[in-house]
């Protein structure tokens, strides 16, 4: 068993402190009664009340959730298909282009994807709004969903499906009855990942939206362009809370299933 | 599974393939086409590339946008700044991420999974929010300055916000998990007995690390570098919110061209040139990735 040295402990501590201190500061100051960022004016939840009563923010949040839920569903479906193609079929005509298209959106700067989608929607004369944002998000997040599904598919024991086939199950049915149930936790994580990525996105949404449809990040962005306000801290804390809750929940959900896979 | 391709299989390939072709590949071809067009008043705000004159198809490819972009110092400067910022922040991230990933890989399996979880949480939470968190810390009257002033380390507030330093802090902060995770994955999959063998043969701890562990982890390092270097070149949010007017990165230039200047053919040319710059690291990354055994 390896033992972490003092240097290992120090690196972990310093690294995690760097990752978390700014978030802690943000959360703490969301409860600040003072409007000034550096002055502590006592504990208060007034900024939360202000955020929840801000009609424009609530409207943005509604659009964001709707877009994220829809695009994540598309992304999970498309990403799963892409993962099955990449892991199980592997070689077919044009598989190089396919694999390239599956990796590229993950490293492609969002500005580039945003620009190209904007130009396509404009050229085709499609009205831009929540629908076009959803299409753009589904395309961008399906690649992440595919990565999650691919790693799960690659881990699956092929002998299980072979056994099913040997017992007379047709290949497709063997896949549906053996592989798919084992992939359920991966479906959940792929959906959650796509959902969060969509919920976070500013750049792609800004390029693919039309008049009147502003997502939550777009609203936050236009607010913080003018400076720091405790109200944005409150909104941010709520979003962080939702994300952390989702992550902890998915960790708990995926745990027992990991055991059951071993038991199978 | 080596059976003959059948109809179901073909349909399976086609659905994601066609989706990506329509929503990912076609838009890029359009950008390329529009970069060869010229600006006009109206919607869409560019001239079509081809025209039918009776039975004569005439195609006009206008290279003026590229000549303009390449001749303009502001664009050239933005490309170079983006490459510089991406290179320096990749190096900074490597310096922070490697010890962190190495430390986690040396922990017991139970604490490992918890520590990896802790690294992943910020990656899942909104990038915009994480950049915003630094805004209130780095401002002239922000938390860092008031802390340093209070302690007496400085007598005047440091100007960090709206400088290149702020961009580095923001980028390193937001992209760090992308660097940590591939390096950690590589280190934790490594064979421990190799290090033990080196130690048994009289290698010091340091020498064992530099001669065994580090060379074997280079693939993870390469993956991490590619995952941060490529997107950082086109980064928009961090330079826009934390950077100043003197550090113009290409992602922000494109944004401004599209939303403020409305000269789409020139903006497309800027985008195409950015893609040309990106193609080299992307191809390197992909060949490396496909060589990695899964």
CA distances from A259 to A125, A144, A252, A253, A263 (A): 51, 25, 12, 11, 6
Minimal Cβ distance to A85: which of B12, B102, B129: B12
Of A125, A131, A140, the C-alpha closest to A204 is A140
Phi, psi for B191 (deg, rounded to 5): -85, 115
CA distance B42 to B52: 20
Contact check, Cβ <8 Å, A19/B17: no
User: What pLDDT sits at residue A254?
Assistant: 66
DSSP three-state, residue B37? coil
Of A84, A83, A86, the C-alpha closest to A94 is A86
Minimal Cβ distance to A236: which of B120, B129, B143: B129
User: What pLDDT sits at residue A257?
Assistant: 47
pLDDT single digits (tens) B196-215? 888 888 888 888 888 888 88
Is the domain A57-263 a CATH 3.40.1390.10 member? no
A196 inside 8 A of chain B by CB:
yes
User: What pLDDT sits at residue B288?
Assistant: 65
Q: Which residues of B touch A221 (CB under 8 A)?
A: 128, 237
Query: Which tokens in the block code for residue A6?
Result: 């003092």
**Mean pLDDT computed over B183-188:** 91
The ipTM value here is 0.85
Residue in chain B closest to A143 (alpha carbons) equals B20
User: What pLDDT sits at residue A13?
Assistant: 94
User: Do B169 and B92 form a contact (C-beta atoms < 8 A)?
Assistant: no
Q: B171 pLDDT exceeds 50?
A: yes
Other C-beta atoms lying within 10 Å of the C-beta of residue B37: 22
pLDDT, averaged per 10 consecutive residues of chain A (264 residues), comes to 81 93 90 78 86 90 95 96 87 83 85 92 89 95 92 84 86 83 87 90 92 89 84 90 83 58 36
A159 inside 8 A of chain B by CB:
no
User: What pLDDT sits at residue B294?
Assistant: 39
Which residues are CB-contacts of A253 (< 8 A; sequence separation ≥ 6)? A185, A188
**Mean pLDDT computed over B241-257:** 87
Q: Which residues of A touch B105 (CB under 8 A)?
A: 2
Other C-beta atoms lying within 10 Å of the C-beta of residue A96: 11
pLDDT single digits (tens) B52-68? 777 888 777 888 889 98
User: What pLDDT sits at residue A89?
Assistant: 82
CA distance B163 to B85: 12
pLDDT single digits (tens) B142-161? 888 888 888 888 888 888 88
User: Do B228 and B179 form a contact (C-beta atoms < 8 A)?
Assistant: yes
Q: B289 pLDDT exceeds 80?
A: no
pLDDT > 70: what percent of chain B? 95
Contact check, Cβ <8 Å, B127/A200: yes
CA distance B94 to B54: 61
Q: List, in order of start, the domains of chain B with CATH numbers.
A: 72-262 (1.10.3720.10)
Question: How close does chain B come to A243, measured CA to CA in Å?
Answer: 6
pLDDT single digits (tens) B10-22? 888 889 999 999 9
DSSP three-state, residue A44? coil
CA distance B290 to A103: 11
A239 inside 8 A of chain B by CB:
yes
CA distances from B215 to A201, B43, B92, B181, B220 (A): 37, 56, 19, 18, 10
Round the average pLDDT of chain B to a whole number and report it: 86
User: What pLDDT sits at residue A124?
Assistant: 87
User: What pLDDT sits at residue A259?
Assistant: 42
DSSP string of B142-191, one letter each residue = SHHHHHHHHHTS-SS----TTSHHHHHHHHHHHHHHHHHHHHHHHHHHS-
Contact check, Cβ <8 Å, A220/B132: yes
User: What pLDDT sits at residue A12?
Assistant: 93
Which residues are CB-contacts of A212 (< 8 A; sequence separation ≥ 6)? A129
- Measured distance between the N- and C-terminal CA atoms of chain B, rounded to whole angstroms: 17
Question: How close does chain A come to B59, measured CA to CA in Å?
Answer: 18
Question: How close does chain B come to A257, measured CA to CA in Å?
Answer: 16
Contact check, Cβ <8 Å, B274/A84: no
pLDDT single digits (tens) B211-236? 888 888 888 898 899 889 989 999 99
């Amino acid at each position: 068993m390896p033992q972490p040295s003092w240097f290992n402990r120090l690196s972990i501590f310093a690294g995690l402190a760097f990752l978390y201190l700014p978030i802690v500061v943000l959360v703490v100051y969301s409860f600040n009664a003072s409007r000034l960022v550096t002055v502590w004016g006592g504990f208060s939840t007034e900024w939360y009340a202000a955020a929840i009563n801000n009609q424009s923010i609530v409207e943005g949040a509604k659009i964001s959730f709707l877009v994220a839920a829809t695009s994540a569903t598309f992304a999970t479906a498309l990403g799963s298909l892409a993962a099955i193609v990449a892991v199980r079929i592997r070689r077919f005509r044009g598989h190089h282009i396919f694999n390239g298209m599956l990796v590229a959106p993950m490293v492609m700067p969002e500005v580039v994807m945003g620009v190209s989608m904007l130009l396509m929607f404009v050229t085709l004369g499609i009205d831009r709004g929540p629908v076009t944002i959803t299409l753009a998000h589904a395309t961008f997040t399906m690649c992440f969903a595919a990565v999650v599904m691919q790693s799960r598919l690659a881990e699956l024991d092929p002998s299980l499906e072979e056994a099913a086939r040997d017992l007379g199950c047709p290949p497709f049915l063997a896949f549906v009855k053996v592989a798919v149930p084992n992939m359920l936790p991966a479906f959940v994580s792929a959906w959650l990942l796509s959902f969060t990525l969509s919920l976070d996105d500013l750049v792609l949404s800004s390029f693919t939206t039309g008049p009147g449809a502003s997502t939550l990040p777009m609203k936050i962005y236009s607010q913080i362009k003018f400076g720091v306000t405790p109200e944005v801290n409150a909104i941010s804390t709520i979003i962080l809370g939702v994300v952390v809750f989702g992550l902890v929940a998915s960790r708990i959900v995926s745990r027992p299933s990991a055991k059951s896979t071993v038991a199978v | 599974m080596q059976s003959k391709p059948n109809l179901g299989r073909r349909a399976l390939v086609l659905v994601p393939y066609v989706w990506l072709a329509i929503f990912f590949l076609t838009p890029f071809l359009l950008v390329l086409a529009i970069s060869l067009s010229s600006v006009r008043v109206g919607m869409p705000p560019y001239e079509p590339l081809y025209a039918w004159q009776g039975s004569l198809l005439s195609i006009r490819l206008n290279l003026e946008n590229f000549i303009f972009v390449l001749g303009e110092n502001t664009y050239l400067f933005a490309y170079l700044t983006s490459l510089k910022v991406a290179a320096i922040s990749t190096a900074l991230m490597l310096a922070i991420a490697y010890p962190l990933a190495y430390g986690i890989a040396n922990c017991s399996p139970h604490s490992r999974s918890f520590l990896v979880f802790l690294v992943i949480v910020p990656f899942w939470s909104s990038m915009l929010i994480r950049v915003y968190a630094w805004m209130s810390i780095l401002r002239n009257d922000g938390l860092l300055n008031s802390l340093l002033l209070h302690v007496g380390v400085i007598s005047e507030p440091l100007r960090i916000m709206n400088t290149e330093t702020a961009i580095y802090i923001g980028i390193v902060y937001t992209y760090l998990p992308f660097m940590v995770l591939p390096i950690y994955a590589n280190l934790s999959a490594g064979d421990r007995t190799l290090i033990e063998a080196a130690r048994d043969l009289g290698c010091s701890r340091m020498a064992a690390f530099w001669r065994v562990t580090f060379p074997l982890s280079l693939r993870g390092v390469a993956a991490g570098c590619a995952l941060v270097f490529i997107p950082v070149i086109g980064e928009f949010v961090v330079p826009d919110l934390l950077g100043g007017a003197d550090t113009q990165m290409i992602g922000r230039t494109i944004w401004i061209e599209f939303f403020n200047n409305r000269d789409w053919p020139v903006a497309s040319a800027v985008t195409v040139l950015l893609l040309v710059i990106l193609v080299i690291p992307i191809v390197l990354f992909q060949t490396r990735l496909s060589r990695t055994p899964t």
